[in-house]
Amino acid sequence: MKWWSLITVACLILAIFLPSGVLKGIFIFAVLGMIAVLLVLAGNLLFNLSTITDMKELDKRLKDDHE
């Protein structure tokens, strides 16, 4: 597991077990923020992978057209 997933799990556990109040709200927002960052990173990775495969297909087409 990466360090950010450990921090997310720790914040989630603290948010569950802390009595309601300001600290619980801070930890819940921290967990939501980390989840949002992970979703953005995952989307960016998927976009990069799809761009790479599109470029490979385009390269194949150009080579086929050139021959």
* Segments making up each domain of the chain, as ranges: 3-66
What are the tens digits of pLDDT across the range 28-64? 787 788 888 888 888 887 777 777 777 777 777 777 7
7 near 34, Cβ under 8 Å?
yes
State CA 27 to chain mean position distance.
Answer: 19
What are the tens digits of pLDDT across the range 7-37? 777 777 777 777 777 777 777 787 788 888 8
Q: Give CA–CA dist 55/34, Å, rounded.
A: 31
Q: For residue 66, what pLDDT is reported?
A: 67
